[in-house]
Amino acid sequence: MYLVRLIYTSEVCEGFGPSDIEDIIEKAQKNNHASNVTGLLCFNSSYFLQCLEGSRQAVNATYHKILNDNRHRNIIMLNYCEIYEREFENWSMGYIPYSKITTPLNLKYSGTSEFDPLAMSGGSAHKLMMALRDTLVNQ
Ligand SMILES: Cc1cc2nc3c(=O)[nH]c(=O)nc-3n(C[C@H](O)[C@H](O)[C@H](O)COP(=O)(O)O)c2cc1C
Protein backbone atom coordinates (compact mmCIF):
# COMPACT_ATOMS: atom_id res chain seq x y z
CA MET A 1 0.00 0.00 0.00
CA TYR A 2 1.60 3.21 -1.14
CA LEU A 3 2.19 5.97 1.36
CA VAL A 4 0.93 9.41 0.37
CA ARG A 5 0.82 12.87 1.91
CA LEU A 6 -2.01 15.33 1.42
CA ILE A 7 -1.99 18.94 2.64
CA TYR A 8 -5.03 21.19 2.37
CA THR A 9 -6.21 24.47 3.76
CA SER A 10 -9.77 25.64 4.47
CA GLU A 11 -11.66 28.52 6.02
CA VAL A 12 -13.24 28.23 9.45
CA CYS A 13 -17.04 28.69 9.27
CA GLU A 14 -18.81 31.32 11.35
CA GLY A 15 -19.92 30.16 14.78
CA PHE A 16 -16.99 27.77 15.11
CA GLY A 17 -16.02 27.49 18.77
CA PRO A 18 -13.71 25.72 21.23
CA SER A 19 -16.03 22.72 21.55
CA ASP A 20 -15.85 22.24 17.75
CA ILE A 21 -12.06 22.04 17.71
CA GLU A 22 -12.14 19.64 20.67
CA ASP A 23 -14.63 17.42 18.83
CA ILE A 24 -12.55 17.46 15.62
CA ILE A 25 -9.34 16.53 17.41
CA GLU A 26 -11.01 13.77 19.40
CA LYS A 27 -12.65 12.23 16.29
CA ALA A 28 -9.51 12.68 14.20
CA GLN A 29 -7.29 10.97 16.76
CA LYS A 30 -9.70 8.05 17.20
CA ASN A 31 -10.45 7.49 13.50
CA ASN A 32 -6.90 8.11 12.30
CA HIS A 33 -5.47 5.72 14.85
CA ALA A 34 -7.86 3.05 13.54
CA SER A 35 -6.89 3.66 9.90
CA ASN A 36 -3.16 4.31 10.49
CA VAL A 37 -3.42 7.90 9.30
CA THR A 38 -1.01 10.36 10.90
CA GLY A 39 -0.55 14.11 10.58
CA LEU A 40 -0.88 17.58 11.95
CA LEU A 41 -3.68 20.13 12.22
CA CYS A 42 -2.97 23.87 12.52
CA PHE A 43 -5.72 26.30 13.26
CA ASN A 44 -6.42 29.97 13.88
CA SER A 45 -9.69 31.87 13.95
CA SER A 46 -9.70 32.07 10.10
CA TYR A 47 -7.94 29.04 8.62
CA PHE A 48 -7.19 25.35 9.02
CA LEU A 49 -4.06 23.82 7.60
CA GLN A 50 -3.87 20.05 7.81
CA CYS A 51 -1.46 17.37 6.70
CA LEU A 52 -2.63 13.77 6.36
CA GLU A 53 -0.29 10.88 5.64
CA GLY A 54 -0.91 7.17 5.34
CA SER A 55 -1.96 4.64 2.73
CA ARG A 56 -3.45 6.18 -0.40
CA GLN A 57 -6.78 4.53 0.37
CA ALA A 58 -6.93 5.66 4.01
CA VAL A 59 -5.87 9.25 3.25
CA ASN A 60 -8.39 9.44 0.43
CA ALA A 61 -11.24 8.14 2.60
CA THR A 62 -10.35 10.57 5.41
CA TYR A 63 -10.12 13.51 3.04
CA HIS A 64 -13.57 12.71 1.61
CA LYS A 65 -15.07 12.80 5.11
CA ILE A 66 -13.34 16.10 5.81
CA LEU A 67 -14.58 17.60 2.52
CA ASN A 68 -18.17 16.97 3.64
CA ASP A 69 -17.78 18.62 7.02
CA ASN A 70 -19.79 21.85 7.25
CA ARG A 71 -17.60 23.35 9.98
CA HIS A 72 -15.26 24.63 7.27
CA ARG A 73 -15.47 25.74 3.65
CA ASN A 74 -13.39 26.69 0.62
CA ILE A 75 -11.23 23.58 1.02
CA ILE A 76 -8.18 23.79 -1.23
CA MET A 77 -5.63 21.03 -1.71
CA LEU A 78 -2.10 22.45 -1.54
CA ASN A 79 -0.01 19.32 -1.87
CA TYR A 80 -0.51 15.66 -2.74
CA CYS A 81 2.33 13.24 -3.38
CA GLU A 82 3.64 9.75 -2.84
CA ILE A 83 6.17 9.61 0.00
CA TYR A 84 8.79 7.09 1.08
CA GLU A 85 8.25 7.55 4.78
CA ARG A 86 6.07 9.36 7.28
CA GLU A 87 7.11 12.60 8.95
CA PHE A 88 4.37 12.68 11.61
CA GLU A 89 4.48 9.03 12.64
CA ASN A 90 4.09 9.87 16.33
CA TRP A 91 0.82 11.77 15.90
CA SER A 92 -2.54 10.30 14.89
CA MET A 93 -3.37 14.01 14.66
CA GLY A 94 -1.02 16.49 16.28
CA TYR A 95 -2.65 19.79 17.12
CA ILE A 96 -0.91 23.13 16.71
CA PRO A 97 -2.69 26.04 18.39
CA TYR A 98 -2.31 29.49 16.87
CA SER A 99 0.09 30.65 19.58
CA LYS A 100 2.76 28.35 18.07
CA ILE A 101 2.43 29.85 14.59
CA THR A 102 4.62 32.87 15.14
CA THR A 103 5.41 35.89 12.98
CA PRO A 104 8.96 34.67 12.19
CA LEU A 105 7.61 31.30 11.02
CA ASN A 106 4.96 32.93 8.83
CA LEU A 107 7.59 35.24 7.33
CA LYS A 108 9.94 32.34 6.71
CA TYR A 109 7.38 30.37 4.68
CA SER A 110 5.11 33.03 3.11
CA GLY A 111 5.10 36.61 1.91
CA THR A 112 3.18 37.82 4.95
CA SER A 113 3.66 37.83 8.71
CA GLU A 114 0.08 36.58 9.19
CA PHE A 115 -0.94 32.92 9.11
CA ASP A 116 -2.40 32.75 5.61
CA PRO A 117 -2.02 29.29 4.06
CA LEU A 118 -3.46 30.57 0.76
CA ALA A 119 -0.34 32.73 0.48
CA MET A 120 1.90 29.64 0.66
CA SER A 121 2.96 27.17 -1.98
CA GLY A 122 2.37 23.50 -1.22
CA GLY A 123 6.10 23.14 -0.60
CA SER A 124 6.17 26.03 1.86
CA ALA A 125 3.08 24.72 3.67
CA HIS A 126 4.83 21.36 4.03
CA LYS A 127 8.01 22.97 5.38
CA LEU A 128 6.01 25.10 7.83
CA MET A 129 4.33 21.96 9.14
CA MET A 130 7.69 20.25 9.60
CA ALA A 131 8.92 23.27 11.57
CA LEU A 132 5.76 23.17 13.71
CA ARG A 133 6.21 19.45 14.27
CA ASP A 134 9.62 20.22 15.71
CA THR A 135 8.02 22.62 18.20
CA LEU A 136 5.87 19.68 19.42
CA VAL A 137 8.93 17.45 19.73
CA ASN A 138 10.83 20.04 21.72
CA GLN A 139 8.04 21.17 24.04
C1 LIG B 1 -10.54 20.86 9.79
C2 LIG B 1 -11.05 19.47 10.05
C3 LIG B 1 -10.14 18.42 10.16
C4 LIG B 1 -10.58 17.12 10.39
N5 LIG B 1 -9.67 16.10 10.47
C6 LIG B 1 -10.11 14.84 10.58
C7 LIG B 1 -9.18 13.76 10.57
O8 LIG B 1 -7.96 13.92 10.46
N9 LIG B 1 -9.69 12.50 10.68
C10 LIG B 1 -11.02 12.26 10.82
O11 LIG B 1 -11.42 11.09 10.92
N12 LIG B 1 -11.91 13.25 10.86
C13 LIG B 1 -11.49 14.54 10.74
N14 LIG B 1 -12.39 15.57 10.77
C15 LIG B 1 -13.80 15.27 11.10
C16 LIG B 1 -14.53 14.71 9.91
O17 LIG B 1 -14.93 15.77 9.06
C18 LIG B 1 -15.79 13.94 10.38
O19 LIG B 1 -16.58 14.78 11.18
C20 LIG B 1 -15.41 12.72 11.21
O21 LIG B 1 -14.41 11.97 10.56
C22 LIG B 1 -16.65 11.84 11.40
O23 LIG B 1 -16.27 10.79 12.24
P24 LIG B 1 -17.26 9.58 12.50
O25 LIG B 1 -17.50 8.95 11.13
O26 LIG B 1 -16.50 8.68 13.42
O27 LIG B 1 -18.50 10.17 13.12
C28 LIG B 1 -11.98 16.88 10.53
C29 LIG B 1 -12.89 17.94 10.39
C30 LIG B 1 -12.44 19.23 10.16
C31 LIG B 1 -13.42 20.34 10.02
Which domain CATH number covers 72? 3.30.70.100
- Give the per-residue pLDDT at 15: 92
Instruction: Evaluate the CA torsion angle 45, 97, 102, 111 in order and state its sign.
Output: negative
Q: Whose CA is nearest to atom 9 of ligand 1?
A: 28
* Number of compact structural domains in the chain: 1
Q: How far is the CA of 67 from the centre of ligand 1 (A)?
A: 9
> pLDDT digits over 66-82, tens only?
999 999 999 999 999 99
Residue 87: domain span: 3-137
- Ligand 1: residue of 5, 66, 88, 93 to mutate (most ligand atoms within 8 A of CB) is 66
Three-state helix/strand/coil letters over 44-76: CCCEEEEEEEEEHHHHHHHHHHHHCCCCEEEEE
Average pLDDT, the chain: 95
Share of the chain above pLDDT 70, in %: 99
